[in-house]
Amino acid sequence: MTGAPMLLSVNGLAAGYGAGRVLDGVDFALAPGQTLAVLGRNGAGKTTLLKSLLGLTQLQAGHLLFAGQDMTRWPPERRAIAGVGWVPQERAIFRSLTVFENLAAVARPGAWTPARVLELFPKLAVLRHHKGDQLSGGEQQMLALGRALTLNPRLLLLDEPTEGLAPVIVEEVMAALRRIFTEEGMAGIIVDQHAQRILRLTDTALVLERGRIAFSGPSTALSADPLWMERLLGVGQAAS
């Protein structure tokens, strides 16, 4: 990606909640169409990093550029309009709306229409008239991902997209993510506890340790090095 114009540049980011600092001196860049795995042990600052990109934490130092614009002080709404999409760990779907209404309620013009999301997730097409609170956890996760897609973001942030899902649902979600990122070329940042699973999907990886970057480089390099995997993540080559 050397020389490519950056979609996102994070420089010297320090952020947290109130006066507390969680992230300290975080630097990385993401080109259009590139995917990044954010890994680390519990409490390392992974979710805080995503929330900082969304404007949901207290910025203490550093600056953020998105598509060449300084978004350091932008409110969350402006970041969303600019093209930063978000699939939170808690999903946050509209539980009283149907599947189709969830998709249509937030849809913006672009390639990802509600109909295309239903084609991506055939399970949701069958359940299009069911309300959000009638869906299983896996179906809600598909809907949360689909709803984020209908906003047609330029960058999609995902926090633990496979956490707590049955293996068969994990495979469906992973297949959808491969299509979104590999075939469709959307840029993405993915936080997930299952390191090897996400490293197979992403171009680059960043490992956080106590709010600082402990590793930054190609996903293949991290995945192939069991010593780094054990030291930074507490997992070995067999982990998935």
CA distance 211 to 214: 9
What Å distances lie between residue 72 and 39, 60, 112, 161, 224, CA to CA?
Answer: 23, 11, 28, 26, 35
Q: Do residues 161 and 201 lie in contact, with contact meaning Cβ atoms separated by under 8 Å?
A: no
Please tell me the pTM assigned to this model.
0.91
Alpha helices (runs of H) in the chain, residue ranges in sequence order = 46-53, 76-82, 99-106, 114-120, 122-126, 137-150, 167-178, 195-199, 219-223, 226-233
Q: Which tens digit of pLDDT belongs to each residue from 76-96?
A: 999 999 999 999 888 889 899
Res 115 pLDDT > 60: yes
CA distance 156 to 153: 6
Res 237 pLDDT > 70: no
pLDDT band for 4, please (50, 70, 90 cuts).
Answer: low
Provide the angle, in degrees to the nearest 10, between the axes of the packed helices 137-150 and 167-178.
10
Res 2 pLDDT > 60: no
Which residue segments constitute the domains of the chain, with CATH numbers given?
8-83+153-233 (3.40.50.300)
Q: Which tens digit of pLDDT belongs to each residue from 37-56?
A: 999 988 899 999 999 999 99
Neighbours of 85 (CB within 10 A): 24
For residue 235, what pLDDT is reported? 58
Query: Can you read off the two tokens belonging to residue 157?
Result: 């942030």
Q: Which tens digit of pLDDT belongs to each residue from 130-152?
A: 999 999 999 999 999 999 999 99
CA distance 153 to 111: 10
